[in-house]
Amino acid sequence: MSRVCELTGKGPMSGNNVSHANNKTKRRFLPNLNDVTLISDTLSRSFKLRVSASALRTVDHRGGLDAFLAKAKDAELSAKALKIKKDIVKAQAAA
């Protein structure tokens, strides 16, 4: 399982540990990923996703999974999230 947020595409970054003597060694900054179950109002169904804590706050701020995916760029979304977005758009068009 890769360490990438399924909604924002946020992944590991690299940087340095810097000691008091200013010695530098490489390190990785990992995103704060959580396994969450998000509910789609349009589809009346829940989805399990691996999402960063910041993305989870953004989902709440925008008013749920449907609103978040409507505004999200397709390039940032995972294949699973893209399929959910397509299903939501299709269901909204039919209604």
CATH number at residue 50: 2.30.170.40
pLDDT tier, 2 (very low <50, low <70, confident <90, very high otherwise): confident
Q: How confident is the model at residue 25 (pLDDT cuts 50, 70, 90)?
A: very high
Split into its structural domains, the chain has a count of: 1
Q: Is the pLDDT of residue 82 over 90?
A: yes
Under 8 Å CB-to-CB from 88, ≥6 apart: which residues?
A: 40, 42, 43, 66, 69, 70
Residue 36 lies in a domain: yes
Is residue 85 domain-resident?
A: yes
Structure tokens, 57:
């706050």
pLDDT, tens digit (0-9, with 9 covering 90-100), for 40-72 = 999 999 999 999 999 999 999 999 999 999 999
Residue 67 lies in a domain: yes
Average pLDDT over the chain reads 96
Domain that includes residue 50, residue range: 13-94
Across 70-83, average pLDDT:
96
